[in-house]
Amino acid sequence: MKPAYNLKTVVPIALTVCGVLRETEADLVYHYLPAERGSREHGSGVQLEPDYAESIEIVSLKLDKTELCDLLTDKQTEAVMRKILGDE
């Protein structure tokens, strides 16, 4: 499978604003990067480059034209990535 760029979807998010929990949906733009097997040396099979797992790179996460990417914690970013990849 080949990489795919600027894919768009909608993801559910929960935000606390001024002490009020708001559950809504945000627009997500991301790049899909398929798993890759690193190169191996011919004959011996020694691995020359690392293997890479399937992943996504978040480009933009917007709610009502407000960019949220820089506001997400690492844990929240991982949760969005797992949801897109179907690992939840």
Helix H or strand E encompassing 87: none
Q: For 16-28, how does the pLDDT look when each residue is reduced to its tens digit (9 = 90+)?
A: 889 999 899 999 9
Spell out the domain ranges in the chain.
4-85
- Tell me the residue type at 70: D
**Could you read off the pLDDT of 12-60 as tens digits, one per residue?**
988 888 999 989 999 999 999 999 988 889 889 898 888 999 999 999 9
- pLDDT of 14 reads 85
The sheet with strand 4-17 has its strands ordered as 4-17, 20-33, 55-63, 66-67
